[in-house]
Structure 1
């Protein structure tokens, strides 16, 4: 159990650092539009889908690494709390249309990304397992 906690902590820190780096780089160019956050959450959802859809099974990784990559790395990379804060700030500033658009675009693209990732992970697993 302790190994899993350490794995989540280390990978979570890495995910948060990567998110911060990408977000700070993109936010400088997108102004008030929360494009960086949308992109981060869609990429994270897609990668998490791919990992859980078969990639981790294909690599036959230990549970400690699995939980580190999924809960830690992807959990630290994507963020629901930042999504909520961004949404609250949009609504506070009177940007209702942008806020609603942000909800729809973020949610639909993230679900689509997770689905694409799961599909890709499953296809990858079947392809490589079929050739063994």
Structure 2
């Protein structure tokens, strides 16, 4: 069990640092579009979770530590619904209702589509 916990922790640290770097880079380069960093990591994370899930279905011999480290750890640290929620509330508070609704729709439906696309890539 300690090996799984260690793998999830290491993956979580890596994913969290990548999200932090991405969101800060976007915010410093496009401050008016601060939400794009969270959107990008969520869409990419959804694509990757679909792809990894599909690959792990095809390759059940992949050790549970690797699977847990990548999915629960890395992707759990990379993607974040709480940041998405805060970004949406910030857009609403600034009176950008249409942008907030669009951001929500693209995040949810884009994430679902990216997850499906990642899973579909494993079936090619």
Q: TM-score, normalised by structure 2?
A: 0.90
SS of the residue 1:32 aligns to = helix
Which has the higher mean CA deviation after the structures are superposed, 44-53 or 27-36? 27-36
Q: Which moved more, 1:59-68 or 1:93-102?
A: 59-68
User: Which ranges of 4 or more aligned residues in structure 1 deviate by more than 6 Å?
Assistant: none
CA, structure 1 residues 87+40, in 2 after alignment: closer, same or farther (shift >3 Å)? Answer: same
Root mean square deviation of aligned Cα: 1.6
Q: Which residue of 1 aligns with 2:62?
A: 61
- Could you tell me how far 1:30 is from its partner in structure 2? 2.3
Equivalent position of 1:15 in the other structure: 15
Instruction: Note if contact 1:47-1:114 (Cα within 8 Å) is conserved in structure 2.
Output: yes
Unaligned regions of 5+ residues in structure 2, if any? none
1:127 is matched with which residue?
none
Q: Deviations over 1:22-60 (max 9, x none)?
A: 221122222232111111111010011000012574383
1:80 maps to what in 2? 81
Q: Deviations over 1:77-105 (max 9, x none)?
A: 01111111111111122211111111011
Residues 79-98 of structure 1 correspond to what in structure 2 (within 5 A)?
A: 79-98=80-99
Task: State how many pairs are aligned.
Answer: 123
Could you tell me whether the CA contact under 8 Å between 1:15 and 1:76 is conserved in 2? yes
Unaligned runs of 5+ in 1: 124-132
Decide which structure has the larger Cα Rg and report it: 1
